[in-house]
């Protein structure tokens, strides 16, 4: 039996340590392309590859200069999903260890979704299982027209573990998610676009050109606005309407404070930029007055002695 891989061991700490992943920056450090080229056939997601991908995503998150992160497989394939040969050999261990590994993969997908950069999956060849789950965690999916996608886990006696049901049902609805997962068929890029799983599909020969056009269109925008829009849309998708609207209103408040010309705006008369922290740091008269009035008001303490 292969040694069970519960949690990543000796994960790469910088780009020089990657063996199955490349991490390349372009556009003056504003764009990162995370590309994988494992020893597995059609870019199957082995334990080692996924550990490196998690490290690459964490490296991207730590880089404040990055605005866009692109995910792509080499050799004309995105990924056929988890390495089932590795799993059949026992690499995932006992059921509890499988649970731990799946939770680790869920965290990986969540890291992608939570990146404060725009993420783009470039879908080519086969995009199956875990490969499809990666695309669903990204903001945008640009596909080659020849791309084939699906969730074939059911025919191996398996179920998706990190988005194949949960994210998919939020993207394309209950009926279609059941069809995809219960039957396990492969589908065209055209259908993925029609159903809302992918954003756009182009002829294979035009894929790189279309990706460049998309990058150019995104880089010219106000990046703080993009970050705020992404954050709000991600959170509002799972919120009730009133909470979502309140969050949207607060986002517009933040946008005006951060992006609008301050010379054209009157200050908020009862706001006090910087004064609260200054009062705490210096323990000045404002701080003393506020704390003395509040510290035992309606408290069950008569004093602090």
Which tens digit of pLDDT belongs to each residue from 218-262?
Answer: 999 999 999 999 999 999 999 999 999 998 999 999 889 888 988
Phi, psi of 35 (to 5 degrees): -120, 140
Identify which of 275, 124, 278 has the alpha carbon closest to the alpha carbon of residue 201. Answer: 124
Active-site residues: which are they?
Answer: 133, 153
The share of the chain scoring above pLDDT 90, in percent, equals: 78
Which one-letter DSSP state was computed for residue 125? S
Out of 72-81, 192-201, 238-247, 296-305, least confident range = 296-305
Strand-pair category, 200-202 with 126-128:
unpaired
What interhelical angle do 285-294 and 275-282 show, nearest 10? 90
pLDDT surpasses 70 at 35: yes
Using 50, 70 and 90 to split pLDDT, how confident is the model at 9?
very low
Q: Give the pLDDT band of residue 303 (cuts 50, 70, 90).
A: confident
Question: Would you tell me the crossing angle of helices 47-62 and 95-114 to the nearest 10 degrees?
Answer: 30
Question: pLDDT at position 196, please?
Answer: 97
CA 125 – CA 128 distance, rounded (Å): 10
Residue 149 has pLDDT above 60, yes or no: yes
User: 253-286 in b/e burial notation, b at 16+ Cβ within 10 A?
Assistant: eeeeeeeeeeeeeeeeeeeeeeeeeebeeeeeee
For the stretch 95-129, pLDDT in tens is 999 999 999 999 999 999 999 999 999 999 999 99
Q: Is the pLDDT of residue 4 over 90?
A: no
8 confidence band (pLDDT: 50, 70, 90): very low
State mean pLDDT over 15-29. 90
Q: To which H or E segment does residue 50 belong?
A: helix 47-62
Residues 7/41, Cβ–Cβ less than 8 Å: no
- For the chain, give the longest Cα–Cα distance: 77
Q: Judge whether 104 and 139 are in contact, CB under 8 Å.
A: no
Sheet holding 140-144, edge to edge: 21-26, 31-36, 68-73, 118-123, 140-144, 200-202
Strand stretches in the chain, DSSP E: 21-26, 31-36, 68-73, 118-123, 126-128, 140-144, 148-150, 187-188, 200-202
pLDDT at 14: 58
User: CA nearest 30: which of 76, 78, 67, 74?
Assistant: 67
Q: Is the Cβ–Cβ distance between 65 and 26 less than 8 Å?
A: no
Answer yes or no: is pLDDT of 60 > 70. yes
Secondary structure class of 238 (helix, strand, coil): coil
d(CA 138, CA 223): 17
**What confidence tier does 3 reach under pLDDT thresholds 50, 70, 90?**
very low
Residue 267 confidence (pLDDT): 86
**Is the per-residue pLDDT at 29 higher than 90?**
yes
Q: How far apart, in whole angstroms, are the C-alpha atoms of residue 127 and residue 186? A: 9
Q: What is the pLDDT of residue 15?
A: 57
């Amino acid at each position: 039996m292969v040694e069970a891989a519960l949690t990543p061991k000796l994960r790469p700490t910088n780009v020089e340590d990657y063996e199955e992943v490349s991490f390349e920056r372009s556009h003056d450090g504003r764009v990162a392309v995370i590309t994988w080229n494992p020893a597995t056939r059609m870019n199957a997601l082995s334990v080692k590859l996924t550990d490196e991908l998690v490290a690459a995503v964490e490296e991207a998150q730590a880089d404040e200069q990055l605005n866009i992160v692109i995910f792509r497989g080499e050799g004309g394939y995105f990924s056929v999903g988890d390495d089932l040969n590795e799993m059949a050999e026992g690499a995932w261990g006992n059921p509890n260890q499988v649970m731990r590994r799946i939770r680790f993969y869920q965290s990986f997908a969540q890291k992608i979704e939570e990146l404060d950069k725009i993420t783009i999956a470039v879908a080519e060849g086969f995009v199956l299982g875990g490969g499809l789950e990666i695309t669903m965690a990204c903001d945008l999916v640009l596909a080659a027209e020849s791309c084939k996608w699906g969730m074939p886990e059911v025919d191996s006696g398996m179920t998706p573990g990190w988005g194949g049901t949960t994210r998919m049902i939020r993207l394309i609805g209950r009926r279609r998610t059941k069809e995809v997962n219960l039957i396990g068929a492969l589908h065209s890029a055209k259908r993925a676009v029609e159903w809302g799983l992918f954003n756009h599909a182009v002829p294979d020969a035009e894929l790189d050109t279309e990706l460049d056009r998309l990058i150019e269109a995104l880089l010219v925008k106000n990046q703080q606005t993009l970050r705020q829009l992404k954050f709000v849309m991600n959170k509002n998708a799972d919120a009730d309407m009133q909470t979502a609207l309140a969050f949207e209103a607060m986002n517009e408040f933040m946008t005006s404070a951060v992006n609008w010309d301050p010379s054209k705006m009157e200050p908020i008369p009862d706001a006090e930029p910087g004064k609260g922290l200054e009062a705490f740091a210096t323990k000045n008269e404002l701080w003393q007055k506020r704390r003395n009035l509040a510290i035992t008001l309606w408290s069950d303490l008569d004093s602090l002695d």
